[in-house]
Amino acid sequence: MGKPVYRRILLKLSGEALMGKQEFGIDPGVLSELAAEVGDLTKLGVQVALVVGGGNIFRGIRTSKEYGIDRASADYMGMLATVINSLALQERLERDGITTRVLSAIEMRAIAEPYIRRRALRHLEKGRVVIFAAGTGNPYFTTDTAAALRAMEINADAILKATKVDGVYDRDPMIHKKAKKFRELSYIEVLQKNLKVMDATAISLCMDNGLPIVVFNLTKRGNVVRVVLGEKIGTVVHGGR
């Protein structure tokens, strides 16, 4: 096996990715596969941090519109959903012998450590997998933005954005058979073309700090390791081509 091109990564997962083929909640099979992928990374000596969304349980912005719940309150509810997912991930990873810490932006000491940047760095240096829960701790910010922010705070080499398709397309490839896949994109192109890689705030943060984003298919076993080893899969978003 080759040498990793990324030594410290932040893996961004949507809450929907944890559903598998279910309509709601967490699929144990998906958790098991994800734990195996993360385990492969740790065996390579890669330092791994994760941010997971909460859309499989609760989506704040949609609920605020559909049910008239105040947006800030709905976003806090969504943050709590990410904590549930983070605890589920921690439990599954530790069952496989992978030492894991959950750091929450909203303090809840009974179940997670409060987020402190230096503490997160120390955990990573000791080879522990770190899961960042509760987004940024503030309403009106997505978990995409939280992922970009945390990745920069821990000096990650890249954000790995896990999806159900094998990269970024000009149209939804699940609907349009002739959708064009991009191998590389600049941050500006993502913003100008309004491509759904991450939200505009997250892309702008990555652009300002030169943090590459690799969008790839999580459902194919071994893809996370392939990305870390530098194989040309998925789509890479960076400063220019």
Give the model confidence (pLDDT) of 148-166 as tens digits. 999 999 999 999 999 888 8
Confidence band for 24, pLDDT divided at 50, 70 and 90: confident
168: β partners? 182
Report whether 224 contacts 17 (CB < 8 A): no
| Dihedral sign (CA 187, 226, 100, 112) | positive
CA 240 to chain centre: 23
CATH T-level topology, domain 8-238: Carbamate kinase (3.40.1160)
Placement of tokens 């500006």 in the chain: 188
CA 54/CA 113 separation, integer angstroms: 19
How many angstroms from the chain centroid is the CA of residue 189?
Answer: 21
Q: pLDDT for 97-112, tens place per residue?
A: 999 999 999 999 999 9
Rounded-to-integer distance, Cα 92 and Cα 100, Å:
10
Structure tokens at 165: 């398709």
pLDDT band at 64 (very low <50, low <70, confident <90, very high): low
Whole-structure pTM over 0.85, yes or no?
A: yes
Q: What φ, ψ does residue 22 adopt, rounded to 5°?
A: -75, 165
* Contact present, 130 and 101 (Cβ < 8 Å): yes
Which tokens in the block code for residue 78?
């969504």
